[in-house]
Chains A and B, each alone.
Chain A
Amino acid sequence: MTALISLPILLPLFGAALAIGLGRWRIAQRLVSISTLTTVTATSVALLIRVDHDGAAAVHAGGWRAPIGITLVADRLAAIMLLVACLMLLAVLVFAVGQPGAERQHVGFHPVYLILTAGIAMAFLTGDLFNLFVAFEVTLMASYVLITLGGRPDQIRSGMTYVVISLIASTIFLLSLAFVYAATGSVNLADLHTKIAALPDGVRSGLAVLLIVVFGIKAALFPLFFWLPDSYPTAPTPVTAVFAGLLTKVGVYAIIRTQTVLFPPDTQPGHLLLIVAGLTMVVGVFGAITQNDIKRILSFHIISQIGYMIMGLGLFSLAGLAGAVLYIIHHIVVKTTLFLVAGLVEQRAGTGQLASLSGLARAEPVLAVLFLVPALSLAGIPPFSGFVAKLALVDAGIGGGEYLIVAVSLAVSLLTLFSMTKIWSNAFWGPPASHPAGPPRRAGLALMTGSTAALVALSIAIALWAGPLYALSERTAADLINPTSYIETVLGR
């Protein structure tokens, strides 16, 4: 069990070191990255099965016991997130290998990509706040390099915004850590559960809001989302896809983890999270409607979708959290796919601007299908995964009597559909435009299309096996609502 929990962090770091050493041999680098990620994915499958069967497990690094040492904890939520993240990282890596661009031109791509993997895995598995900060920094450092890979002027400009805003978020995180430590004398999440409950109401609310602000910047919650649509679209496609699918969700994971373990439902600041969720949905989707570039439209949709996950958390019920977990699983897969498709469109047509795209459906029918399935899924049209996830959330909202947020979420779904049809009718319908001829069909294109198709298949599989997945989400939500077993596992009582 110790190996299962620590491997997803250690293995990518070793892989990264190896990949730096093999910098001169690209084939060897690829072998290292792909085999590392495959092993980590296999590990996380094993971890999820074990955790779902036996309950949460903890590892104390260096043998220092819980409240003092660094603790790694795997419970159902962490294991699910880890598995989905690994699948995305693997698929996007295959896409990157096939794509002429970032991966081929830069020796640093593979090592940095693996470090990003390690950071994300650490953020999911860590059991204390300070280690979460370190995990965020590892992830961010890797993401700074990836987002500016290539060093074009527009990348430098938008990368600068991203780096500065992330740095400020990290500084506020450090500040809230100092406050948490000063108030309680601990940073271990399980230990903090009892210690924070003993604090006066005002201090507790202050800490809760500070942590929401910190993770809200990372998750791009209203009103802290301005950096996202500016910085994501300029990065190379595989990088944008991974960031869109995973990085904001690491923030959402941190919000869910801290709000459920540290701040019990009865101490929550009223409807704050629901209001933020509603505004995030609405503002994000309105932003998307005004845009004219595929990647920018999709970037604004990330923001809008984050609102749904926070809505599930804000309901603070078993059904709400289960819906949020299911929604995150669906969203990570679908969003990554959409960005990969946007990359394929750009590759084929030479641009992502809607005004200069036309008639791709006739020229590239496979591409059209690959776009249509995740797009309809994002909007929540019935047979696809988005429908199942949204149904779970809406059901939870009605069950909790929060009719306003349910109405908002349904209206936003409609607007999402509108925005997706805008891409569809502009880029895919109409007479074929005189696009510069795409690159000749090579193995690279097959890899790119293949990995995108695999993700589309995965999102359809989510819809097909929605029953077992929802049951798993419900078990996860039960752990979150009642964190006793998590705390007992960590503190070893």
Chain B
Amino acid sequence: MTVLLVIVAGALCACGTYLVLGRQLSRVVIGIGLLGHGVNIVLVLSGGDGGDPAFAGDDPSGFADPLPQAFVLTAIVITFGVIAFLLTLAYRSWLVTADDEVEDDVEDRRIATRPHTPHRENQP
């Protein structure tokens, strides 16, 4: 069971990484979602093997570790919020540029392609 989940986590992270490396914003958002899911599965696995539901019985020795589950819940909520924000930002970006692509740093491109340093002395 654990090996299967490890493979799933690995596949999710791989797909997520591939999508995040793209230029289209929609792909990046989906990629981040996948990466988040992959990491959440790793976080669940960090508690070790499964067990009885925590706090449900009298014998604590068979309980599954509840701490990673609490971590994952927190992480899911945070990822959800952030992705909601990212989608709004992507929508806003689409509204103002009518494009889905993440552009380069404009000023940086300008400096990289300029022929020489524009000193004040050179200007009329």
**Contact of B30 with A by CB under 8 A:** no
Q: From the candidates A159, A178, A233, name the one contacting B43 in the complex (CB within 8 A).
A: A178
Could you give, for residues 415-431 of chain A, a 1 whenever the CB lies within 8 Å of some chain B CB and a 0 otherwise?
Answer: 00000000000100010
Q: Is B39 an interface residue (CB 8 A)?
A: yes
Tell me whether B111 is interfacial, beta carbon within 8 Å.
yes
A18 within 8 A of B: no
Would you call B120 and A355 a contact (CB within 8 A)? yes
B48 to chain A, nearest CB (A): 8
Q: B102 in the interface, Cβ–Cβ < 8 Å? A: yes
Contact B97–A153 (Cβ < 8 Å): yes
Interface flags, A116-139, vs B, CB<8A=1, else 0:
000000000000001001100100
Q: Contacting B107 at CB < 8 Å: which of A163, A174, A185, A293?
A: A293
Contact A230 B28 (CB under 8 A): no
Contact partner, A426, options B47, B97, B106, B120, Cβ 8 Å: B120
B13 to chain A, nearest CB (A): 8
Q: Given A153-B96, A182-B46, A174 and B75 touching (CB < 8 A)?
A: yes
Write the B14-47 contact mask toward A (1 if CB under 8 angstroms, else 0). Answer: 0000001000010010001001100110110111
Question: Could you tell me the distance between the alpha carbons of A68 and B65 in the complex, rounded to whole angstroms?
Answer: 12
- Contact digits for A158-169, partner B, Cβ 8 Å, 1 yes 0 no: 111101100110
Partner of A156, one of B48, B68, B92: B92
CB of B7 within 8 A of chain A?
A: no
**CB neighbours of B108 from chain A (8 A):** 229-230
B57 within 8 A of A: no
CA distance A292 to B108 in the complex (A): 10
Q: Which B-chain residue is minimally distant from A156 (CB atoms)?
A: B93
Taking CB atoms and an 8 Å cut-off, the chain A residues in 51-83 that contact chain B are 68
With A and B bound together, what is the CA distance between A446 and B103 in angstroms?
39
Which partner residue on chain B sits nearest A290 by CB separation?
A: B111
Q: Is A151 interfacial (CB 8 A cutoff)? A: yes
Within the complex, what minimum Cβ distance (angstroms) separates A32 from chain B? Answer: 24
Tally of chain A residues near chain B (CB < 8 A): 46
B102 touches A160 (CB 8 A): yes
Q: A174-B43, A178-B46, A230-B105 are in contact. Are A134 and B74 (CB under 8 A)?
A: yes
- Cβ-neighbour of B32 out of A171, A174, A179, A296 (below 8 A): A171
Closest to B105 in A: A230
Cβ of B61 under 8 Å from chain A? no
A171/B35 in contact, CB under 8 A: yes
Do residues B39 and A175 form an inter-chain contact, with CB atoms below 8 A? yes
One of B48, B89, B123 near A159 (C-beta < 8 A): B89
Are B46 and A179 touching (Cβ within 8 A)?
A: yes
CA–CA, A130 and B78, complex, Å: 13
* Chain A residues, CB < 8 A from B107: 233, 291, 293, 296
Contact A292 B86 (CB under 8 A): no
Residue of A nearest to B94 (CB): A156
For the complex formed, measure the closest distance between the CB of B80 and the CB atoms of chain A, giving whole angstroms. 12
Query: Which B residues contact A (CB, under 8 angstroms)?
Result: 20, 25, 28, 32, 35-36, 39-40, 42-43, 45-48, 65, 67-68, 71, 74-75, 78, 81-82, 85-86, 89-90, 92-93, 96-97, 102-103, 105-108, 111, 118, 120, 123
| 27 CB-based A-B contacts, threshold 8 Å | A133-B75, A134-B78, A141-B81, A148-B92, A153-B93, A156-B92, A160-B25, A160-B89, A161-B102, A163-B85, A163-B86, A164-B20, A164-B32, A164-B102, A170-B78, A171-B32, A171-B39, A174-B40, A177-B46, A178-B42, A178-B45, A181-B43, A181-B46, A181-B67, A181-B68, A230-B108, A292-B118
